[in-house]
Amino acid sequence: MEMKSITTPSPIMVLGTSSGAGKSLMAAALCRVLLRSGESPLPFKGQNMSNNAWVDKSGGEMAYSQALQAWAAGIEPTCAMNPVLLKPQGDSTSEVIHLGRSVGFAKAETYYEQWFDSGWKAICNGLNQLRDTSDQGRFVLEGAGSPVEINLMDRDLTNLRLAKYLNARCLLVADIERGGVFAQIIGTLALLNPIEKSLIKGILINRFRGRRELLEDAQKWIESKTGIPVLGIMPWLNEDFPPEDSLDLLERKHIKSSADVQIAVIKLKSISNFSDFDPLEAEESVQVRWVKPGSDLGRPDAVVIPGSKQTIKDLEILFSSGLAQEIKAFADNGGNVFGLCGGMQILGSTLVDHSGKESFEGRSTSKVIKGLDLLPIHTVFNSQKILNRRIVRSYWPEVTDLTGFELHRGISQPLSQCDQILKPLSEDPSLGWFVESNKSSKIVGTYLHGIFDNGPWRRLWLNELRRGKGLADLPINRPNHFQQRDRLLDLLADSFEHYVRFKGFIGE
């Protein structure tokens, strides 16, 4: 598959010495910095593995990290920016998304044999689609994991193959926070052949804490040893930037002294769309505590069950760990519980998976599976995936506008005998419901991802929790979270401009 000819400006690529080195945020920083300089950056990651997804305007599915980079670049996210998305669902199996559409399921051991050619075709098509949107746009490419996984290098779709194909100027990012940064850098470069190594135009040390002068001699040593300039040392940033993967959620352990409401978010094994909770993390009055199955639920002011790539699998884990029983007891004693997408399905009375897409280890079953029975709804899974951007008006807690997106398998419906107690959350009843009990607990569920991004609605929901504690209401005239996210991207770019000598690196 040929890509249309690429002229200047030169593509740039962010590679990492490992997963979680900070590639996604450094690529986002470059997008914002280039935008500030008058360029038209085009973020692109050929292949991503993530259950943290976004739905573009065409109803295409893409990784959230590329959507974030698009916002940093000042453009609308499109699935062409992430033409191959792998969504892990356990048992070494992933759903395969090409240019926004599900095209099948792949086992790890046969993925490259079965999907390499079609994946590369999707990548080239994505590049061409982006090039059509901006003739003078500059590709800002993000690699995946490490570019020198010896067992994968000959089949790698999105690191050195793409860098060589586009003759990209590569920045190698290493994370000093996790230790071994010098071995990471030297070892990565040692495993590159001469042509590949010639593409590395700069090194960046990320997440440094402490006095910068302590690294001056080490920086000179790296440059002498590799012949490649260290372009900068990015400090540890205290802001809550969106995590690159679900493992990063566990590192968010700081305590907010100003928080007076605690929300326990269940850290499901197959959690998806964890970026839904960035707006709650950004609320100064809210302490978000991530609770893994097997951990103590504690005494939060609300429990939130997030989306899941394997809803029935995660439901079984909740029951086997005892956390399901704790959540039910919490609700029975007047606690507030919120379910988002798969979390709403878990809150329901029953679930049936005819397609086998949501079952434990992929086993197909038509058996009725019992949910937490906190929300009187019944969910039936099928093979069709629902992908829609939505604008609706909420009925609860008050009438207000909502924006977000649907990304789910399965249709949920109220149990017929519960029509009187189950109330629609919005003008579209299929998007979710709520129940208010005599013990003041409120059980709420919705399919609308991004619901907490809506500033007024988020504050209305938080005020429901605050009143239960006798606290004063917060102002509801809050902007939507995209403004807070944009401020964080500006702070990230400010730091990048201050600490990284990038102008010579990006070339013409």
List, by residue number, the catalytic residues: 341, 449
Question: What are the CA-CA distances from residue 130 to residues 6, 53, 61, 135 (Å)?
Answer: 11, 19, 16, 9
Contact 230, 212 (CB under 8 A): no
* Residue the block writes with tokens 């440094």: 208
Are the beta carbons of 378 and 408 closer than 8 angstroms?
no
d(CA 500, CA 434) in angstroms, rounded, equals 49
Beta strands 336-340; 302-305: pairing state: parallel
Is 422 in a helix, a strand, or coil? coil
Q: Which amino acid is at 354?
A: H
The alpha carbon of 12 is separated from its chain's Cα centroid by a whole number of angstroms, namely: 23
For tokens 């809550």, the residue is 240
DSSP 9: S
Do strands 442-446 and 336-340 pair parallel, antiparallel, or not at all (unpaired)?
parallel
Q: How many other CB atoms are there within 10 angstroms of residue 255's CB atom?
A: 7
Who's near 475: CB < 8 A, 6+ residues apart? 459
494, 497, 503, 499: which is closest to 169 by C-alpha? 503
Please report where in the chains the tokens 């190594």 appear, as a residue: 197
Query: What is the DSSP annotation of 185-208?
Result: HHHHHHTS-HHHHHTEEEEEEEEE
| H helix intervals, 46-142 | 64-72, 111-133
Strand order, beta sheet including 169-175: 41-44, 138-142, 12-16, 169-175, 200-208, 230-235
Residue type present at position 433: W
Question: Helix, strand, coil shares of the chain as percentages rounded to 5?
Answer: 35, 30, 35
The encoded tokens of residue 152 equal 């994968």
Q: What does the alpha-carbon distance between residue 450 and residue 390 come to, in Å, rounded to a whole number?
A: 10
* Residue position matching structure tokens 């590679």: 15
